[in-house]
Structure 1
Amino acid sequence: MVPALLVLVCRQQYTRAPIPLTREREREIQKEEEKTLEPDEEGDGNDHGESVLTLTWTMKVNELKGNNNQINGLGFLGPLGYVTPILLPVATLVSGDLLFQESAISCSVSYVSSIILLTKRVVQIRPQINLPFPNGADVDNDEYDGDEGENEKKRQSPESVASATATATLPFLFYCNNGALEIYAVVVVGILLVSTGTECRAVGKVGAVTTGSVFEYGAVSCRAHSFSVTDFGAVGDGKTLNTRAFQQAVDHLSRYSQQGGALLYVPPGRWLTGTFNLTSHFTLFLHKDAVLLASQDINDWPLAKPLPSYGHGREAPGGRYMSFIFGTNLTDVIITGMNGTIDGQGEIWWTKFHEGKLRYTRPHLIEIMHSNNIQISHLTLLNSPFWTLHPVYSSDVIIQRITILAPVKSPNTDGIDPDSCTNTRIEDCFIVSGDDCVAVKSGWDEYGIAYGMPTRHLAIRRLTCISPTSAMIALGSEMSGGIEDVRAEDITAINTESGVRIKTAMGRGAYVRDVYVKGMKMHTMKWAFWMDGNYGSHPDKHYNPNARPMVSGINYRDVVAENVTMAAQFNGIPGDPFTGICISNATIAMSPKSKEAPWTCSHVQGITSGVTPRPCSILPEKTVACQFPTAKLPIDMVKFKKCVYKVRHT
C-alpha cells in the first residue's frame, strides 16, 4: 500500500466586534464563493447547532472484464500511463460565527491535497449522487443538556453563538487485485470561517503555538491541573522512545484525581512510545500537530491476560498483547484534542499475522475496560495493529468526531468495537477500515454466555463508512452476552460489503433484539441487508452446539441504496428463525450486474412496506412504518462543558 498525502494547514486568529452572521449574508458568501451549503433541515437529532455539509460528486465503480478490479474516482480520467500523478485539490466553504469571550472570533483555513497514483485504467462517469459527509463542527463548547428547545435558545442567544464550522473528510480508494498497487488518498476538506462587515487584525503568527495561547474544548469534565509531557523529559523527534516519560506523567497526574483531576498536554511533534496506562479523572489532550507513534519493537508491548468473556486471545489460544493506550477500573477519562493523531504503525503486525509468526493476539490501538464516564473525541486514529477502538465492560461512553483510517486490505482493523458496554454514544465518525467499521460485541460462545454481560443502549449517529470487504455496522459475531436496544440513525456506507449486518451461529446462545435503523444511505454495495445464522467461528471445541441465539425485533426504515449487487440475504437458523423483521420505505437500485433474484430468504419472519425491489414472499407487504424509539437514552442527557487549557510551553 502506497499512501500519498500532502497536507497544508494554516490558521490565524482575529479580533472583531461580535456581530452574528445573518442568513442573508450567508447566502451572499455562498454566491461569491460559488459553493453550496445545505443546512440541517432533516431533523436528524443533531443537537450541536452544526451545519450539515452535502457535497455533490460523481463516482463510478468500473469492473473490468475478466476480473474484479475496481477503481473509484471522480469524473472521467481517461486512459492513463502506468503511473500518473493526479492532484486533487478540494476546498469547501462553510460560514459560521464563533463568539470567543464575547469579543473575538477564531478563523481557520485548512487546505489538504492528495497526490493519487493510478495504474492504466478508465474511470467512467455515473449520474450524480448526493452523499453526506460527517462534519466536524467544533461546537462542543456549548453545554448539551439533551433538550433541543433549550439548545436552540443557546445557539440563538448573543451570549453563546455557536460556531458553524464543518470538516468533511472525503476518501478515494484505488485498488487492484493483482497486488501491484493499493492506494488510498484522504482529502480532509478544510474550514474557512468568514466574517464580514467589521475590521479584523491579526493577533498571532499564523500556525504558531506560543506561551500564553489558550485552547477551548468541550468535555464532560474540566481539569484543575495541567502538565505537558515535556515536563517529564519527552522528546518529539519521532526517534526517541518516550514510554517512560508518558507513564511517569500519567502516574504523577494520578495524584490529582481527588483534587479536580489533571490534563496531560501533548504539544506539536512526533512522539514515539510503547504502551502506557491511563488513570482516573484524567485528560490526554493532543495538539493538532501532535502525532503519537506506536513503537514497532514488539518488546515494547507487554502481554495481557485474555478477556474473561472470550476465554483466550481472539487469534491464538494464549493471551494478547496489551493495547497501545490502555486503562482498566477507571472513572472519568478523556482522550481528546484538536484532531491530533495516534498512529499504531500496524504494518509490522499485519505482516507477522499473515506470515503466522505471532503466538499471541495482536494489540488494539485504544482499549478501556471495567470503566465508566469515558470520552474519546476529536482525534485521527491510524493503522491499528488489530481493532482500533475497544471499550469493553464499560458504561457511559461517548465517542465523537473520530476519524479512523486503515488500508482496506489490512486484517481485522475494525473501527469501533463496543463490547459488553452499556450507554454508549457514537457520533460524527468517519471510518475507512479493513474490517467492520463498527462491530458490536459481547463475548464469545461459552465464555460470553458464562460472563453474561450484554451490550445495550447504544446510539450510532452520522457515521460514514468505507469497507469493501465488511459491514458498516456488524452485530456480532461475538454476541454471546447479548445485544439489545441498538439505534443507528443517519448513517452512510460507500463501497462497503453490507450495511447493518447480523452475524451469529449455533453455539453463540444469547440474543440480538430491538435493533432500530433509520436513514441509511448506501452506494456501491454487495448487499444492502444481510443476516447470517451460520457464521461459524468458535474459540475451541468446548462450546455448546445446542446454544441457540435468538434474533428478533430488527427494524429498518428510510433506506436508499444505489449500485447494489444483491438487495438482501437473510439466512436464519433451521428451527430457530429470525423473527420480527420489519423493513419500510426502502428503495434499492440494483447494479447492471446484479443477480436475477435480488432477495434470498430462509428461516426468517417479518413484514415489509414500500420496499423496492419486491422482497421475498415470506416477508409480506403490510402498510406500516417500522419502529424507531423517540425517547432519548441516558447517555444523550450528558452535558459537555466549556473547558480551557492555557499553554505554558512552546
Structure 2
Amino acid sequence: MKSTLALLLAGSAAFLTAAFRPAETPKIQAPHIPFEGMLIGDLPVVLQASFKKDTFNLAKYGAVADGQTLNTEAFRKAIEACAVGGGTVLVPRGLWLTGPVVLKNNVNLHLATGALVQFTADRSQYPLIKTTWEGEDAIRSQAPLSGVDLTNIGITGNGTFDGAGDAWRPVKKNKLNETQWQKLVASGGVLNDKKDYWYPSAASLKGNQLAAAGKPRKSLNPADFDDIRDFLRPNMLSLTRCKQVLLEGFTIQNSPAWTIHPLLCENITVRNVTARNPWYGQNTDAIDLESCRNGLVEGCTFDVGDDGLCIKSGRDEEGRKRGVPTENFIIRDCKVYHAHGGFVIGSEMSGGVRNMYVSNCTFIGTDVGLRFKTARGRGGVVENVFVDGVDMTDIAGEAVLFDMYYAAKDPVPLAGESMAPPVIAAQPLNEGTPQFKGFQIRNITCKGATTGILVRGLPEMSIKDISIENAVLESKKGLLCQEAENIRLKNVTLLSTETMPVMEVQNSRNISLDGIRYANGADLLLRVTGDRSKDIRLTNTNTKLAKKDVQLGDKLAKKTVTVAQR
C-alpha cells in the first residue's frame, strides 16, 4: 500500500483536496517515481484548507457590478460577516471595482466564472503601511489583496483579479513600439529628462530617481514617504504569516509589482492559477515563495515581466537575521511563458532554501530556464534541489544557470580566444558568503538558448555537488563551468553552434563528463584553464568527432584531464 506522502507526490487530487488535517499530522517519508533514488527528505503532509458550506453573496452587502461603484466597503462587510463562523464569500459574475480587499480567518473568497474584480487605479485608496520589499522591511502601499496572521483561508474560482498595474509601473521607451509609446505619453504621467522613461506621476519619478541615485529612504514611518507614495508599488496578493492557504483556479493579472507573495506562510496549495503581466512590467514576478514551508504548486500558467516560479528567503543581513528558509515544496505540471526565469531560486535567499522538488514543467520564451542566482553579501545555503522533467524552447540566455555574480559586472567576458583565466580576487569567508550545493537535475531538454549550462561560483566558495543527467540542450554555447567542485554531467547532449569549445572548465575540480554527445566537426571539445583546475574526467565520449579533443591552459599538467575512450 502506498504511503500518504507517496500519494501526495503521485498527484492524488482527492488526497490534496481533502479536509485539512490537525497540526499533529506526522511526517511520513516515502519514495516517488520521478525522484526515485534521490533523497526525498522528510517532507511533511501539506495541510489543507477546509471551509463551511455557508455562502455570503457580495451583492447582498451593497456591492454593485457596474465598474463604476467603489465596492471596498461591501467586500469588507461580506468578509467580516463570513469570518464569524467561516464559509465562502461569493463574487458573482460582473465587473466589481474596489480598493484593497483584506482576508479573514476561515474565509474562502470565491470568484464565479465571469467575475472580474478590478482594483481601482486611484493610488490614494492604498494607504502606506509597514511591510517588506524584495526581502527587507519597508514602507509600501497596501496590497490590493492581502491577509496577515491568518489560518485556513482560500481564494478560488474561475474569475479574474486585475491590479491596475499600469497606474503604478514606470515604462522604458525601448520596451514599446512608437505607437504604443505615444499612446502612453498622451495618457498622462511625466517623462524623465532624457524623454526615454515614462512615470505615472511626478511622485513616482522622484522616488525612482532617489532609488537610482542610491539614496533610498530608510525610515519605517509612513509619513516620511508621502511625497513619493506613487513610487511605492504594492505587491498584488500579499499573504504574511498565514497557515493552510488554498489558491486555486483564478486568473490574477496586471500587478503593480510581485503578483503572488506568500511570506512566512505554512501549508500552501497553489493549483491551476494563471498569472499574467505585460512583458515590460518591471518586478512583476508571478509567484515569490519567501521564507515559507510545506507546499504544493501545480498546474499553474505564468506569463509575466520578471521571474516565474520564484523561491526567496530574505535579503542580506535582514534575511540572515530572520533565518527562515523556504523548504519542502513540490512544484509540478506548470507552464511559464515570457519571464526572466522559469524556475528561480534567489537572488534574495539569505535565509536559505532546501528540499525543492520540481517536475514536469515547460518554459517557453523565458530569458533563462532553470535560474539559480545569488551574490556576495547574501549569505544563506541553497541545498537539496531536485528537478526531473523540464522542457524548454526559445530561451534567450542560459537553459541552466548557477550564478553567484547576480547583478554584478560579468567577471568573465571571454573576449576572443584568450586562454587566460579571469582575474577574480577571492574574498574572506564570512556570514555573507552564499552557498549552492546538492542539486540533481535530470531529463531536461532545451531547443534554442545562448548557453546550455553556466556554472559560476566564487573563488572563495565554489558551487558544489551538482548532477545533470539525461539532457539535450541546443544552444550557441555548450558548457561553461567556473569555480565549481563535484560537478557531474552524464548522458548530456550539447548541440552548440559557435566555433568555441563545446565545454569550458576554469578553476574547477572533480568534474565528471560522462557520455557527452555533441555535433560532429566541433573545433574543440574541452578546454581547461585556471591553475586551480584538477581531476577533470572525460569518459564514455567519442572525442574523435571534434577536430581537437582537449586543450589545457598554461601551467596545467596533462594529468589534470583524464580521457577514457569508449
TM-score (norm 1): 0.58
1:589 aligned partner: 474
Q: Please, what is the CA RMSD of the aligned residues?
A: 2.7
1:612 aligned partner: 493
CA–CA distance in 2 between the matches of 1:378 and 1:460? 16
- Correspondence 1:140-219 to 2 at 5 A: none
1:387 aligned partner: 258
CA–CA distance in 1 between the matches of 2:101 and 2:514? 55
Which of 247, 250, 266 pairs up with 1:376? Answer: 247
2:122 aligned partner: 297
Which of 239, 254, 262 pairs up with 2:83? Answer: 254
1:532 aligned partner: 403
Shift of 1:309: 8.8
The answer to whether the Cα contact below 8 Å between 1:484 and 1:514 also exists between their aligned partners in 2 is yes
2:356 aligned partner: 486
CA–CA distance in 1 between the matches of 2:463 and 2:166? 39
2:268 is equivalent to residue 402 of structure 1: no
TM-score (norm 2): 0.67
Q: 1:459 to 1:242 in 2, by over 3 A?
A: same
Q: 1:559 to 1:425 in 2, by over 3 A?
A: same
Shift of 1:622: 4.4
CA–CA distance in 1 between the matches of 2:405 and 2:144? 33
Amino acid at match of 1:556: I
- Correspondence 1:411-560 to 2 at 5 A: 411-467=282-338, 470-525=340-395, 526-536=397-407, 547-560=432-445
Q: 1:621 to 1:350 in 2, by over 3 A?
A: same
The 3-state SS of whatever aligns with 2:394 is strand
Amino acid at match of 2:128: L
2:242 is equivalent to residue 350 of structure 1: no
Q: Indicate the larger mover: 528-537 or 437-446.
A: 528-537
Per-residue CA deviations over 1:443-479 (Å, capped at 9, x if unaligned) read 01011111111100011101100125x1001100011
The answer to whether the Cα contact below 8 Å between 2:316 and 2:348 also exists between their aligned partners in 1 is yes
1:135 aligned partner: none
CA–CA distance in 1 between the matches of 2:291 and 2:56? 34
The answer to whether the Cα contact below 8 Å between 1:44 and 1:490 also exists between their aligned partners in 2 is no
Q: Where does structure 2 lack aligned partners over 5 or more consecutive residues?
A: 1-7, 22-26, 29-47, 171-188, 190-196, 208-227, 409-428, 495-501, 517-566
CA–CA distance in 2 between the matches of 1:407 and 1:251? 34
Per-residue CA deviations over 1:405-452 (Å, capped at 9, x if unaligned) read 111111111001100000011000000010011111100101111111
The answer to whether the Cα contact below 8 Å between 1:530 and 1:569 also exists between their aligned partners in 2 is yes
CA–CA distance in 2 between the matches of 1:623 and 1:403? 39
CA–CA distance in 2 between the matches of 1:510 and 1:564? 29
Q: 1:437 to 1:449 in 2, by over 3 A?
A: same
Q: 1:312 to 1:222 in 2, by over 3 A?
A: closer
1:233 aligned partner: 62
- Correspondence 1:75-154 to 2 at 5 A: none
CA–CA distance in 1 between the matches of 2:480 and 2:260? 34
Q: Aligned pair count? A: 401
Shift of 1:563: 1.7
Shift of 1:535: 1.6
CA–CA distance in 1 between the matches of 2:123 and 2:232? 12
CA–CA distance in 2 between the matches of 1:388 and 1:279? 20
CA–CA distance in 2 between the matches of 1:562 and 1:143? 42
The 3-state SS of whatever aligns with 1:447 is helix
Shift of 1:262: 1.9
The 3-state SS of whatever aligns with 1:426 is strand
Per-residue CA deviations over 1:39-80 (Å, capped at 9, x if unaligned) read xxxx9933349xxxxxxxxxxxxxxxxxxxxxxxxxxxxxxx
Shift of 1:354: 5.2
Per-residue CA deviations over 1:100-142 (Å, capped at 9, x if unaligned) read xxxxxxxxxxxxxxxxxxxxxxxxxxxxxxxxxxxxxxx9878
Amino acid at match of 2:282: P
Shift of 1:565: 2.1
CA–CA distance in 2 between the matches of 1:354 and 1:444? 29
Shift of 1:312: 3.5
Q: 1:437 to 1:311 in 2, by over 3 A?
A: closer
Greater relative CO (CA pairs within 8 A, separation 6+): 1
Per-residue CA deviations over 1:150-179 (Å, capped at 9, x if unaligned) read xxxxxxxxxxxxxxxxxxxxxxxxxxxxxx
2:482 is equivalent to residue 602 of structure 1: yes
CA–CA distance in 2 between the matches of 1:342 and 1:420? 25
Per-residue CA deviations over 1:203-262 (Å, capped at 9, x if unaligned) read xxxxxxxxxxxxxxxx83131422111111000111110011111221222222xxxx12
Percentage of pairs with the same residue: 30
Shift of 1:296: 0.3
The 3-state SS of whatever aligns with 2:375 is coil
Amino acid at match of 1:586: A
1:132 aligned partner: none
Amino acid at match of 2:90: Y
CA–CA distance in 2 between the matches of 1:438 and 1:223? 31
User: Which structure carries more helix by proportion?
Assistant: 2
2:425 aligned partner: none
Amino acid at match of 1:228: N
Q: 1:438 to 1:239 in 2, by over 3 A?
A: same
CA–CA distance in 1 between the matches of 2:152 and 2:342? 29
1:280 aligned partner: 105
CA–CA distance in 2 between the matches of 1:449 and 1:564? 34
The answer to whether the Cα contact below 8 Å between 2:19 and 2:50 also exists between their aligned partners in 1 is no
CA–CA distance in 2 between the matches of 1:500 and 1:302? 37
CA–CA distance in 1 between the matches of 2:71 and 2:20? 37
Which of 567, 572, 575 pairs up with 2:457? Answer: 572
Q: Where does structure 1 lack aligned partners over 5 or more consecutive residues?
A: 1-42, 50-138, 148-218, 314-318, 538-543, 625-650
